[in-house]
Structures are given as C-alpha cells and as structure tokens.
Chains A and B, each alone.
Chain A
Amino acid sequence: MIQKHLFSTRTISKDFIEQIFSLASKIESNPELFSDKCKGKILATLFFEPSTRTRLSFESAMLRLGGQILGFTSAKESSAVKGESIADTLRMINYYSHIAVIRHYIEGVGEIAKNFASIPVISGGTGSQEHPTQALLDLYSIKKEFKEIDNLNIGVMGDLLYGRTIPSLLFALTKYNNINLHLIAPPALRLRKNVALRLKENGFRYNTEENLKDIITELDVLYMTRIQKERFPDPVDYERLKGVYQISTEDIKNAKDRFIILHPLPRVDEIDYAIDKTKHSRYFEQALNGVWIRMALILIYLGLD
C-alpha cells in the first residue's frame, strides 16, 4: 500500500520505487497513450520558494496527462505573507485541487500534510531536508543508462550539508545492493549528522573523500551539486567555499568510457560548459526524465496508474 503523501525517499520501499520507474518508462516510450488520463483533475503547485525545473516539469507532466494546473510561484503571491499557516493553506487546497506539490523553505512540512491534507501532497523540496522526486528522477536516469543500479560506483560531490537532493538520493540508494558510494566534499560541507545517522541505522557504508582525482577512474556516475548559497547562515562561509569544486574536461579525462555526470541543476560554475559537449554529460536528459517520473507519480498518487 502506498503512503498518502510523498515527502521522503527514506520511508518508501524499493518495490514502490521500481513501480514508479516501470510506469515512467511506459510513459516515456509512448506519452500519447496517457494524454487524457487526468482529464478533469487539477494539480496545485504551491511554491513558497523559487523553482524552474521542479515546478515546470510537474506542470508539464499534468498538462501532458490532460489535467489542469493552478498555484503560485512564491510565498509573496500567497496568504503566507499575511501570516497564514501551512496547515491552513493545505486545508484550503483540499477544496481546490485533487493533488498538490509543495515546495517550502520550512522543514517538516510532510508531517503537516499528514495531519491537514486530505488530498495527496508531494514534496517539491523542503528546505535542505529532502527533495524526493529529484532523487527518483536521478535514479531513473542512472537506471536508464546502466540498466541496473546495483553494483555501481557512485560519487556524490559538492554541498552535502545543505543540498536537499542529497539526503533523498542517499536514502533511495540504501535500498539497492552493493553500491560503492564516495561522498566528496570539503570538511565544512559534509553530510549533516542526522543524515549520517540514518545511513548508519540502515547499515549503509560510504567513503568520504576530498578530491575527485583520487577516485575518478573508479566512478560510473558522478552526481555533482551546487554550493547552496541561499542556505548559508553566514555569507562569509559561502564566499570562502564557493567555487571549491569546479570540474573541467581535464578532471574527467581518465574516467571510464561509460562514466556519466548528473546534476540536479541549476549549476553555477561547478561544471565547465565544455563538459556539456562530452559523451559524459547527462544532466539535461536527466531534467527531461523529471517529466516522465512526475507523470508517473501524479498517476500513482491519484490512483489512476
């Protein structure tokens, strides 16, 4: 049985993840077949923080399914500026739509949804806590490339402290076998203690590195992330750490032939534009995969799959 809402990859099963991938794959191979599955259904996009890909791909997903969309794109456009609680916002959205996506800088919104939302609510990212649909499309992109996720050598690099895609990706990876995971970050940007504890509780082991060059020849996948400027409590720390990791074609010249680079985007300066043209870049295809994954999620959470 699926949970009513989706706010974490930690609490969903591998079977459920594979069910999402299977449906996403069917949709990708013939989107037309699904073009009126959501006729008469409304998706609300409640974005209290800026978004390009997540909101547009959810909206594109719903429109491709024949449904309709409504919502707002910043907290300023909602009654949050008047002091309305998230609980009351969700109570209202129950009346206006059949399914909702919420992005918020406040962490723990999932528990509010559990208590106050009667329609399915999917996280579009919560603070630096999690971004579960991003992790699903990340893994889908890896699976499309390598057929299996088990036994891969995966490097995750950049801002592991504030990046919300990181906990979701790692929690999802714990469900697969024999993942050789390398976490590459400066000491100041390593995993939060609570995320590390969750991994430990799952018996999931990983290697901590500081330099990509030490492991580049081993990797099948490099998951690159942006230093999350907006989440640093002290701008001085950001200034000190920005640009700490920038990869160029030189840095990946010894990589395996089938090595790929993913990035949840947006990127700032961490991946040189010259890499875009190499056989290793997959981050734009990855963004397209977000549409298939989100179409599958809308169908599953509406019970229309």
Chain B
Amino acid sequence: MSESNDKLIVTKIQDGTVIDRIPPGKALKILEILGIDSNYPYTVALAMRVASRKMKLKDVVKIRGRALTPQDTQKLSFIAPTATVNIIVDYKVQEKQNLKIPDHVEDFVDCINPNCVSNSHEPIVSSFDVVSKDPLILRCVYCDRLLEQKYLNREL
C-alpha cells in the first residue's frame, strides 16, 4: 500500500473480500468481528481515514482468502451500515453487496436481560426485532427488553 499525490494505491488481491466505505475509524473493529488477528495466514490490507468522494473520509479493508458468511455481513451492517462488500475472484469483483440493517436478527448478540430465556440453557438462539435503525434499538423476541446503541456498541 502506498500513497502518492493524494491517491491511495493498494495492491489488488487475487481472491477474497474488499470492504469499502467503512465509517472512518471502524476498520479495526471490523477485523475483530471477522476474527482476523495476527495469526491470520494471508494478506490483509487496512487503510484508515483515507479520502473519499462520497464520505469525505473512510476506512477500507482488503482480506485475501476470506469469504463472509451471512452472519458476518449482518454484523457488519450494524457497525458499518455505509460499507460495501466486494467479493473478489481472480482479481475481479465478482459480486458487490451494499449492507443493509435487517429487520430481524438471530444468534447475533446476547440479550441484555440476565433472566431472559435466551441466556439460559434452552435449545434456542437469541432473536431480536430491529425497532429502530438510527439510533439502533433491538427488541428481544423472548423477553421484550430493548437493546440500545450504548449496549450494542459495547457488545458488538
């Protein structure tokens, strides 16, 4: 990765995922969510606070050899709703996805209520309806409690 004349040049990856238009400063959090740490065996390029025509500033992450699961993209949508996910195959963008906060999420985060049945040993997964996208508020399908942005920022 190099920067010349205000233009950022990042080497293309052969196969993997490019996450573009990440809100500035969130790239590290995204790697954390995707479970990518110092032990990851392939190339990872990370650019923070680079100039963007649409966003003024943005973060970009390029990850070789990693495809995102639907659950990964769901989590990303909550942290970086502006981001686009490009799936790269043989140096070319095979698919481009715009992230969208869903209306319902499952097995995504633990309910805030310690007495919620989803936090006890039952054969179920946590399940939430999204009641507000900005600010983000989730409502537990089981106990009806609200998970607000502050809690989600801490948990996600």
A interface residues (Cβ-Cβ under 8 A, vs B): 83, 85-87, 105-112, 115, 127, 129, 192-195, 197-198
Contact A106 B116 (CB under 8 A): yes
What are the residues of chain A within 8 A of B142 when measuring CB–CB? Answer: 107-108, 110-111
Are A194 and B115 touching (Cβ within 8 A)? no
Are A194 and B117 in contact, CB atoms less than 8 angstroms apart?
A: no
Interface majority SS on B: helix, strand, loop or mixed? loop
B contact set with A: CB distance below 8 Å: 113, 115-118, 120-124, 131, 139-146
Q: Would A197 and B140 count as touching, CB distance under 8 A?
A: no
Complex partner residue of A198 from B121, B140, B144, CB under 8 angstroms: B144
A100 to B131, CA, bound (A): 33
Contacting pair A107 B124 (CB below 8 A): no
Given contacts A193-B146, A194-B144, A198-B144, contact A127 B115 (CB under 8 A): yes
Q: Which residue of B lies closest to A193 (CB)?
A: B146
Q: Which of A85, A115, A129 is within 8 Å of B143, CB to CB?
A: A129
> A108 to B117, alpha carbons, bound, how many Å?
5
B116 touching A108 by the CB < 8 A rule?
A: yes
Determine if A106 and B144 form an interchain contact, defined as CB atoms under 8 angstroms apart. Answer: no
B120 contacts across to A, CB distance below 8 A: 85-86, 106
| B101 smallest CB distance to A (angstroms) | 18
Q: Are A107 and B115 in contact (CB under 8 A)?
A: yes
Cβ–Cβ < 8 Å partners of B124 in chain A:
87, 111-112, 115
Whether B139 contacts A194 by the Cβ 8 Å rule is yes
A70 to chain B, nearest CB (A): 23
Question: Which residues of chain A are within 8 angstroms of B146 by Cβ–Cβ distance?
Answer: 193-194, 197
| Pair count A-B, CB < 8 A | 57
A105 to B120: give the CA distance in the assembly, Å: 11
Give the nearest-CB partner of A105 in chain B. B115
Instruction: Out of B115, B122, B141, name the residue touching A85 (CB < 8 Å).
Output: B122
With A127-B115, A197-B131 known to touch, is A107 a contact of B143 (CB < 8 Å)? yes
Among A106, A192, A195, A197, contact of B117 (Cβ-Cβ < 8 Å): A106
Tell me the smallest distance from the CB of A297 to a CB of chain B, in Å. Answer: 22
Q: Would you list 24 pairs from A and B whose C-beta atoms are within 8 A, ordered by A residue?
A: A85-B120, A86-B117, A86-B122, A87-B122, A106-B116, A107-B115, A107-B142, A107-B145, A108-B116, A108-B117, A108-B141, A108-B143, A109-B117, A111-B117, A111-B124, A112-B122, A115-B124, A127-B115, A129-B144, A193-B146, A194-B144, A195-B144, A197-B131, A197-B146
Chain A residues with CB below 8 A from B123, complex form: 85, 87
In the bound assembly, the distance between CA atoms of A195 and B139 in angstroms comes to: 11
CB contact between B116 and one of A107, A110, A197 (< 8 Å): that residue: A107
Given contacts A85-B121, A105-B115, 14 further A-B contacts (CB under 8 A): A85-B123, A86-B120, A86-B122, A87-B123, A106-B115, A106-B116, A106-B117, A107-B142, A107-B145, A108-B144, A115-B124, A127-B143, A197-B131, A198-B144
Q: Which B residues are in CB contact (< 8 Å) with A127? A: 115, 143
Is A108 touching B131 in the complex (CB atoms < 8 A)? Answer: no
Nearest CB of chain A from residue B105's CB, rounded to whole Å: 16
Alpha-carbon distance A195/B146, docked complex (angstroms)? 10
Complex Cα distance, B146 from A112, in Å, reads: 20
Query: How far is it, in angstroms, between the C-alpha of A158 and the C-alpha of B50 when the chains are bound?
Result: 55
Q: Which residue of A lies closest to B144 (CB)?
A: A194
Q: How far is the CA of A107 from the CA of B145 in the complex (A)?
A: 10
When the two chains form their complex, are residues B143 and A83 in contact, meaning their CB atoms are under 8 A apart? no
CB distance from A132 to the nearest CB of B (A): 13
C-alpha gap A285/B106 in the complex (Å): 45
Chain A hits for B113, CB < 8 A: 107
Q: Does B131 contact A107, Cβ atoms closer than 8 Å?
A: no
Alpha-carbon distance A86/B117, docked complex (angstroms): 9
Collect the chain B residues with CB atoms within 8 Å of residue A85's CB: 120-123
* Alpha-carbon separation in the docked complex, A179 to B4 (Å): 69
Min C-beta distance of A194 to chain B, whole Å? 5
Cα distance A107–B118 in the bound complex, in angstroms: 9
